[in-house]
Chain A
Amino acid sequence: MRRFSWFNATSIALGFAFLYIPILLLVIYSFNESRLVTVWGGWSTKWYASMLQNEQLLTAAWVTLRVAFVSSTLAVILGTLAAVVLVRAGRFPGRTLFSGLIFAPLVMPEVITGLSLLLLFVAVGFARGFWTVVIAHATFSMCFAAVVVQARLYDFDKSVEEAAMDLGATPVRTFMQVTLPIIAPSVISAWLLAFTLSLDDLVIASFTTGPGATTLPMRIYSQVRLGVTPEINAISTVMIGFVTIGVLIASYATKRSSARRERDLRTAEAGGT
């Protein structure tokens, strides 16, 4: 059994302190009675109450959730297709360009992606609003989804698919009944990743949005520029809470499914011998 050395434990502790202290302070100060960051005026939930009365903030939150839901669903469908193409379709004309197109959005600065999509929408005369943000988010997060799903597709045994085909299943049926259930955990985590990427995005949404589709990061950004407001601490804390719960549920689910897989595997091996 390996143990923590003094040096390793210290560097991990300092690193995690650096990562978590700002977030922790934000959460603590969201319960501050005082308006000032440095003055502790006692515990209070009044900023949560005023957040709940802030119509603009709530509308923006609702828009953001809808955009994130639709765009991540679209991104996962497109991203899974792209991953299947990259791993299974073999050579086809324009394959290099295709893999470049999957890769490029991952590192492209957001200001460029945002600007170029906006200019496309303007050029074709597409009215900006909810759907343009959805398209923009789906486009960059499908690439993240493709990378996540691709990793899983590389891992898994192709012979299972071949067996299904040999037994007369159509390619579509094979995909739905064999491939998809096997890659399901990665599809789910790809969806979650796409969802948070969309919730998080300020720059691309600012470029591609139109009237009536102001997202929460845009609203937060415009308030933050006016100065620190404790209401933003409150809504940030709510978001951090949701994300933490979501990640905990997801990690619990993957742990259980991987435990089940291991058990199945062991049963299968025991049955085989």
Chain B
Amino acid sequence: MRRWLLISVPYLWLFVFFLVPFFIVFKISLSDTEIAIPPYTPLLDLSEGWAGIKDFFSQLDFENYRIIFSDALYVNAYGSSLRIAFISTLITLAVGFPIAYGMARAPKAWQPMLLMLVILPFWTSFLIRVYAWIGILKQEGLLNHFLMSFGLISVPLNILHTETAVHIGIVYSYLPFMILPLYASLEKINPALLEAAADLGSPPWKSFWQVTFPLSMPGVLAGSFLVFIPAVGEFVIPDLLGGSDTLMIGKTLWIEFFSNRDWPVASAVAVVLLLVLVVPIVLFQRNQEQLREREAGR
């Protein structure tokens, strides 16, 4: 009895405030604009019995999905979101790997302190950290000022409001999510393995590619998913750093909802985004489960 009560409280909460809302989004994505704007007329009227159910299905409308797939704007937004997220994830991996490697090889006494320093920026506001880059990247900003005063460039670089700025923003904001899982898997590698490889005549770079990197694969995968999945739906970074040419799907949804006030299309955009992300999310969860099993098995 008590066990049942214990389970039901968090279960019901998530059911009502996480799962049910998705069904509502799905339902509204299938409605006409006039019906979907409040006040709602109940679409599914069970009091009318079978006729009500039939009515419900006859009212279903895939118009919003047709709009999304026939308009190049939306298709491009999905495409560029996936492309930007993918490239940014690769850069984050390239930037994060040496840092995580350095931390894992640092003196043991230093490691808690280094970890703390990686986590600390994560505790300061995401919005503020993205905002800080505006002052750095804009034409009369600090980066151009710096480069020009050293004579490296003569004309200010145009970085803010380009896709490059979005990449920089994503790499910067999500770097801790990459470093932490990488560090966790690199730190576990037994140094004896590398010593053995060296004793057997392997040069350091070869040991790295044949021993260290394969063994850090769980961290590489976990970090990449943790960066890629939220980056696809990112809103703040493309909005503040990217220009009007950089269209990402999170921003499109936001505009559709807040500026165009087209709730059904916004819902349809959300449903398709969710479908696009289902594969990476499922892969990520499977990867996490395997990690947990391996941990438990040791």
* Chain A residues positioned under 8 Å from B258 (CB to CB): 206
Q: Does B284 sit at the interface, judged by CB under 8 A?
A: yes
In the bound assembly, the distance between CA atoms of A239 and B124 in angstroms comes to 7
* Chain A residues positioned under 8 Å from B226 (CB to CB): 107
Q: Does B198 sit at the interface, judged by CB under 8 A?
A: no
Q: Mark B232-275, 1 if CB is under 8 A from A, else 0.
A: 11111000100000000010011001100001001100100110
Q: Is the CB–CB distance between A119 and B116 below 8 Å?
A: no
Q: Does A253 sit at the interface, judged by CB under 8 A?
A: no
A109-B277, A110-B235, A123-B24 given as contacts; is B105 within 8 A of A196 (CB)? Answer: no
Q: Does A63 sit at the interface, judged by CB under 8 A?
A: no
* Chain B residues positioned under 8 Å from A8 (CB to CB): 101-102, 105-106
* Chain B residues positioned under 8 Å from A103 (CB to CB): 285
In the bound assembly, the distance between CA atoms of A201 and B145 in angstroms comes to 32
Q: Does B188 sit at the interface, judged by CB under 8 A?
A: no
* Stretch binding the partner chain, chosen from B54-62, B63-71, B130-138, B210-218: B130-138
Q: Mark B4-17, 1 if CB is under 8 A from A, else 0.
A: 00110111011101
In the bound assembly, the distance between CA atoms of A203 and B258 in angstroms comes to 12
Instruction: Write the chain B residue with the least CB distance to A5.
Output: B105
Q: Is the CB–CB distance between A101 and B103 below 8 Å?
A: no
Instruction: Write the chain A residue with the least CB distance to B295.
Output: A154
Interface secondary structure of A, over-half rule: helix
Q: Mark A177-206, 1 if CB is under 8 A from B, else 0.
A: 000000000000000000010011011001
* Chain A residues positioned under 8 Å from B30 (CB to CB): none
Q: Does B18 sit at the interface, judged by CB under 8 A?
A: yes
Q: Does B90 sit at the interface, judged by CB under 8 A?
A: no
In-complex Cβ contact of A3 among B40, B107, B135 (8 A): B107
In the bound assembly, the distance between CA atoms of A139 and B119 in angstroms comes to 23
* Chain B residues positioned under 8 Å from A206 (CB to CB): 258
**A-B Cβ contacts below 8 A, count:** 232
Q: Is the CB–CB distance between B11 and A94 below 8 Å?
A: yes
Interface secondary structure of B, over-half rule: helix
* Chain B residues positioned under 8 Å from A84 (CB to CB): 6
* Chain A residues positioned under 8 Å from B153 (CB to CB): none
Q: Does A112 sit at the interface, judged by CB under 8 A?
A: yes
Q: Does B121 sit at the interface, judged by CB under 8 A?
A: yes
- Closest-CB distance, A14 to chain B (whole angstroms): 8
Q: Does A251 sit at the interface, judged by CB under 8 A?
A: yes
Interface residues on B, range: 35 or more
Q: Does B52 sit at the interface, judged by CB under 8 A?
A: no
* Chain B residues positioned under 8 Å from A18 (CB to CB): 95, 172, 175
Q: Is the CB–CB distance between B22 and A142 below 8 Å?
A: no
Instruction: Write the chain A residue with the least CB distance to B5.
Output: A81
Q: Is the CB–CB distance between A224 and B25 below 8 Å?
A: no
In-complex Cβ contact of B135 among A16, A37, A109 (8 A): A37
Instruction: Write the chain A residue with the least CB distance to B2.
Output: A171
Q: Does A105 sit at the interface, judged by CB under 8 A?
A: yes
Q: Mark B96-117, 1 if CB is under 8 A from A, else 0.
A: 1011011101111000001011
Q: Does A168 sit at the interface, judged by CB under 8 A?
A: no
In the bound assembly, the distance between CA atoms of A120 and B142 in angstroms comes to 45
Q: Does A49 sit at the interface, judged by CB under 8 A?
A: no
Q: Does B19 sit at the interface, judged by CB under 8 A?
A: yes
Q: Is the CB–CB distance between B28 and A2 below 8 Å?
A: no
Q: Is the CB–CB distance between B10 and A85 below 8 Å?
A: yes
Q: Is the CB–CB distance between A16 and B132 below 8 Å?
A: no
A37-B142, A78-B9, A116-B21 given as contacts; is B105 within 8 A of A217 (CB)? Answer: no
* Chain A residues positioned under 8 Å from B121 (CB to CB): 19-20, 23
* Chain A residues positioned under 8 Å from B79 (CB to CB): none
Q: Does A135 sit at the interface, judged by CB under 8 A?
A: yes
* Chain A residues positioned under 8 Å from B270 (CB to CB): 111-112, 115-116
Residues of A within 8 A of B (CB): 1-5, 7-12, 14-16, 18-20, 22-23, 25-26, 29, 36-38, 78-79, 81-82, 84-85, 89, 92, 94, 98, 100-105, 107, 109-113, 115-117, 119-120, 122-123, 135-136, 139, 142-143, 146, 171-172, 196, 199-200, 202-203, 206-207, 217, 220-221, 224-225, 228, 232, 236, 239-240, 243-244, 246-247, 251
Residues of B within 8 A of A (CB): 2-3, 6-7, 9-11, 13-15, 17-22, 24-25, 28, 38, 40, 95-96, 98-99, 101-103, 105-108, 114, 116-121, 123-129, 131-136, 138, 140-142, 145, 172, 175-176, 179, 225-226, 229-230, 232-236, 240, 250, 253-254, 257-258, 263, 266-267, 270, 273-274, 277, 281, 284-285
Which 9 residue pairs of A and B lie closest in terms of their CB atoms, listed nearest first? A109-B233, A116-B21, A15-B99, A8-B102, A11-B98, A82-B10, A22-B132, A101-B14, A120-B21
